[in-house]
Amino acid sequence: MILTTDDLKKLRLRTGRTQAELAVEIGVSQSYIARLERGTLDPKLSLVKKIVDVLTKGTGKICSDIMTTNPVTIDAREVVSTAVSLMQKNNYSQLPVLRGTQMVGIITEWDIIQNLQHNLHEISVQAIMSPSGVLMVDETTSVDVIIPLFGNYQAVLVQTQGRIQGIITRSDLLKLI
């Protein structure tokens, strides 16, 4: 998983810390944190790990604690009407799209709504899916690390040794309450 400087800033803001407070905890200057968040500084991996560790020691939960196991997926070659049926049957707003065992995207309610003018019994899922709507993380990833990512992603797939084990959606985050 790749964390951007924007992700680090969102994580800091989510924890309610100022740049100065984080700087003290990490052992750097406030201007260092400011430059890091602006993207004008390329920090050492050890410092990024220290920042993430400090910012994520909140819940103590990892992805496997809140994920929905054995997620329902759909093959990219299936027709959209099959995806609609699966989504309605399971009350899901999106489905991960696979080609074989490889994750290639996500199909969402919005993708389908935008394509209602087509015959959904004939058009394939891959023709209308969002290719970058899902991120994959390891099952041991801290939940605090992935929360800020939901601003850009519909769901987070949880994997172990490259195999999909679960999915975390926004509604799964409510398990933290």
What is the CATH classification number for the domain harbouring 157?
Answer: 3.10.580.10
Percent of the chain that is helix, strand, coil (3-state, to 5): 45, 25, 35
Contact by Cβ (8 Å): 22, 51: yes
**Hey, what are 96's tokens?**
């991960």
Residues 71 and 150 in one domain: yes
Most confident of 74-78, 105-109, 135-139, 173-177: 74-78
- Return the beta strands (E) in 22-160 as ranges: 68-69, 74-75, 94-99, 102-108, 134-138, 155-160
Residues 49 and 68 in one domain: no
Model pLDDT, residue 66 = 92
Residues 81 and 41 in one domain: no
Residue 1 has pLDDT above 60, yes or no: no
pTM to 2 decimal places: 0.62
Contact by Cβ (8 Å): 98, 77: no
Could you tell me the CATH number of the domain that includes residue 41? 1.10.260.40
Residues 46 and 87 in one domain: no
Average the pLDDT over 40-58 and give the result: 78
User: Which band of pLDDT confidence, cut at 50, 70 and 90, is reported for residue 100?
Assistant: confident
Model pLDDT, residue 115 = 96
Count of domains forming the chain: 2
Q: Which domain holds residue 50?
A: 5-55
Q: Which residue has the tokens 């004939």?
A: 122
**Hey, what are 52's tokens?**
């993430």
Residues 93 and 165 in one domain: yes
Contact by Cβ (8 Å): 54, 14: no
Query: Which is higher by pLDDT, 155 or 112?
Result: 112
Residues 9 and 83 in one domain: no
**Hey, what are 98's tokens?**
């696979």
Residues 156 and 106 in one domain: yes
Model pLDDT, residue 59 = 61
